[in-house]
Chain A
Amino acid sequence: MNRRDFFSWGTAGFVALCSGVAVSLGAVVRFLVPDVFYEPPQVFKIGNPGDFPFGPPTFLADEKIYVFRDRDKGFAVASAVCTHLGCTVNYFQSDQKFHCPCHGSVFARGGDVIHGPAPRPLQWFEVTVTRAGQLQVDKDKVVPDSYRLMV
Chain B
Amino acid sequence: MAASTSSVYVSVIEDVINKVREEFMNNGPGEDVLKELQGIWEAKTMQAGVVNNPIERSAAKGTPGSGVTPVHDLNVPYEGTEEYETPTAEILFPPTPLQTPIPATPIQTPLPGTGDNLYNIPTGGSDYSANESGSSNGGVNAETKGGRPSPYMQPPSTWMNHRPPLDVNIAYVEGRDEVDRGASHQPPTQDFLQMNSAKRKREDFPAQYQAGGFIPQQDGAGDAAPEKFEIEVSGGSTSIASRAWSEMLTRVRSSTPKIPQLDGPIPDPYDELSTPNIYNYQGTFNEDYNVASTPAPHDIPVSTPAPVVQNDLGDDDDDEPPLNENDDDELDDVDQGDELNTAHLVLAQFDKVTRTKSKWKCTLKDGIMHINNKDILFNKATGEFDF
- A and B: real partners? no
Residues of A within 8 A of B (CB): none
